[in-house]
Structure 1
Amino acid sequence: MVHLLVADGNDRAGRARHLTVCDRTSAETYAGILRTLAPDAVCHLVAPADADAVLPLALAECDALVLTGSTLHVAEGGPAVTRQCELVRAALLAGLPVFGSCWGVQVAATIAGGRAGRNPRGPEYGLARAIRRSAAGAGHPLLDGRPPAWDAPAIHDDAVIDPPPGSRVLAGNDRLDVQAIEIRLGEGVFWGTQYHPELDLDEVAAMLRLSATGVVEAGLCRDEAALHAYADALRDLHGDPEGRPDLAWRLGITDEVLVPERRRREIKNFLDRLVRPRRAHG
């Protein structure tokens, strides 16, 4: 049995807003995927942004920590950010494997001495396109199974601007140099992606609706009606991926995004290549 601590990156307001468009929180989404990929996993959920949050079990009893996305901004600081930074730092110093997407990457990079903030090249909304391995990413187990270039779900304004000293940037694209990264702190290892391997297309659609103003302001849609039409198409493609090749063609979405096993490769690689070996060797 594998015990996974799943930390929701949102504060209470962020979780409530998320639930207006989704039927589950970000942590619940991750937990469901982790149980699918590792049927022997027991997921323990926590919301470390909250002042009254209590870990459901001690870090020493965990096999790994997973940190979700968030609407918070690391650069703005504040108690909700600091508490999450402290949890990730403690987990890494305790020797735990840690995985994070989007917000998780930004937190891990910050505590290790890097810098996260608004991406000067602009946001990515919907999909990060044409991601490619760096030289350091060639052969790295986090990216096992990925083709030479791939797309992935992405929703972010912020990103890792300056990677921490000693980290390994594993992948990037023309919008962002740090799309995947390995960070070591103490005895712990962090693997993460700025993109969201955990998100199904219906959840991407929901996140776009929450970000409608930002998408329009970035010039990616002419108006909110166009944004909602795009989100509708993503939702419909999710509902019938095999029966709507017209939508996949129109949206430029390939099997790396459509097929769950391919979209979630990084999460499975984390479990198989970091978490299970560590547990096996006690």
Structure 2
Amino acid sequence: MRLLVVEGNVRAARERHRATYGLTPSESYSAVLKSLAPDAICDIALPADEGANLPDASGLESYDGVVITGSGLNIWKAEPESMRQVELAREVYKSGTPFFGSCWGLQVATVAAGGSVRANPRGREVGIARDITLTPEGRDHPLYQGKAPIFTSPCVHGDEVEALPDGAIVLAANTVSDVQAVDISHDGGRFWGIQYHPEFSLNELTVILRRYKPTLLSEGFFRDGETVDRYLTDLEALVADKRRTDISWRYGIGPDILDSSRRLKEIENFIEFRVKPVLSERGRA
């Protein structure tokens, strides 16, 4: 199984993640994919970098799946670092290679297919996305096979899908984002995407939230630095010992977050129902 992991971040952002977590976002996502498919070979593309050598549709056909990570960029700004990723996503669609993305990945694939993204007027969704609810289409969709109809997941995003491409199917929503998951068919390809981050373990999420401390304070999620520090210390204690029910109960962090088999179900289903059939077609399964 050959997978291409597309890093959504510019160099400074991915190196900042490596400095605090030990891996760049694309390296972390690759590790998650290999935990679900141990024999997978994961290559990494860096389209945010000027001059990056990126595959075209014919080169992408050599992969069995393409996955786009999250990013600190805002696609509505239409910066070169973002638009190179949109062009790459158009080539992925054209190649017909199974296509998946989290958060930024959903936004890139949406814009590449003719939709639009904006800053969410309802504000940022950060830490845990709550009450993500499957639509009728989502309940019958293979992306959510084995998933509860209402669930929570790690998340960090301030933007949302404003307008969907023609024919896109919304699979999940909550009160913060009307598009928490989508199925997009475009130009011969098909994309499954989610606005949240199941690939984030509680440990990785906590590291990110510690970096976000100034944002959490400035946007009113916490009243003062002492309160946010206490919250992050509690999360770190829960990372160290998942049996700390006093902490998990206090913050509503249940098995959807702590049980990796439940948290990663969407990514597992992408591999099972999109990538593996391609492997079979190519005689590599």
Normalized against structure 2, the TM-score is what?
0.94
Residue 18 of structure 1 is matched in structure 2 by: 17
Render the CA deviation track for 1:128-149: whole Å, top value 9, x for unaligned: 0011011221210111111121
Render the CA deviation track for 1:51-101: whole Å, top value 9, x for unaligned: 132248931211111100000010111211111111111011110111100
Larger deviation, residues 191-200 vs 203-212: 203-212
SS at match of 1:20: helix
Residue 147 of structure 2 is matched in structure 1 by: 146
Gaps of 5+ in 2: none
Alignment partner of 1:193 is 2:194: yes
Question: Is the CA contact (8 Å cut-off) linking 1:182 and 1:189 kept in structure 2?
Answer: yes
Residue 31 of structure 1 is matched in structure 2 by: 30
Q: CA deviation at 1:197?
A: 0.6
Residue 219 of structure 2 is matched in structure 1 by: 218
Q: How does 1:130-141 map to 2 (within 5 A)?
A: 130-141=131-142
Question: Is the CA contact (8 Å cut-off) linking 1:45 and 1:56 kept in structure 2?
Answer: no
In 1, Cα distance between equivalents of 2:20 and 2:190: 33
In 1, Cα distance between equivalents of 2:44 and 2:182: 24
Render the CA deviation track for 1:167-205: whole Å, top value 9, x for unaligned: 000000111110111111122111111000100111111
Aligned pair in 2 of structure 1 residues 188, 20: CA closer, same or farther (>3 Å)? same
Question: Is the CA contact (8 Å cut-off) linking 1:134 and 1:169 kept in structure 2?
Answer: yes
Aligned pair in 2 of structure 1 residues 42, 61: CA closer, same or farther (>3 Å)? same
Aligned pair in 2 of structure 1 residues 172, 154: CA closer, same or farther (>3 Å)? same
In 1, Cα distance between equivalents of 2:87 and 2:273: 25
Question: Is the CA contact (8 Å cut-off) linking 1:105 and 1:192 kept in structure 2?
Answer: yes
In 1, Cα distance between equivalents of 2:149 and 2:79: 40
In 1, Cα distance between equivalents of 2:50 and 2:151: 39
Alignment partner of 1:71 is 2:76: no
Residue 256 of structure 1 is matched in structure 2 by: 256
Q: CA deviation at 1:228?
A: 2.7
Gaps of 5+ in 1: none
In 1, Cα distance between equivalents of 2:224 and 2:87: 40
Normalized against structure 1, the TM-score is what?
0.95
Larger deviation, residues 130-139 vs 102-111: 130-139
Question: Is the CA contact (8 Å cut-off) linking 2:125 and 2:155 kept in structure 1?
Answer: yes
Q: CA deviation at 1:163?
A: 1.7
Residue 271 of structure 2 is matched in structure 1 by: 271
Question: Is the CA contact (8 Å cut-off) linking 1:96 and 1:187 kept in structure 2?
Answer: no
Question: Is the CA contact (8 Å cut-off) linking 1:44 and 1:56 kept in structure 2?
Answer: no
Runs of 4+ in structure 1 displaced over 4 angstroms? Answer: none
Residue 111 of structure 2 is matched in structure 1 by: 110
In 2, Cα distance between equivalents of 1:21 and 1:232: 16
Number of matched pairs:
280
In 2, Cα distance between equivalents of 1:204 and 1:10: 17
In structure 1, give the amino acid aligned to 2:15.
A
In 2, Cα distance between equivalents of 1:98 and 1:191: 6
In 2, Cα distance between equivalents of 1:107 and 1:264: 21
Question: Is the CA contact (8 Å cut-off) linking 2:139 and 2:149 kept in structure 1?
Answer: no
In 1, Cα distance between equivalents of 2:54 and 2:77: 25
Question: Is the CA contact (8 Å cut-off) linking 2:54 and 2:88 kept in structure 1?
Answer: no
Render the CA deviation track for 1:19-73: whole Å, top value 9, x for unaligned: 2321101001111011110012100012111013224893121111110000001
RMSD: 1.4
In structure 2, give the amino acid aligned to 1:111.
A
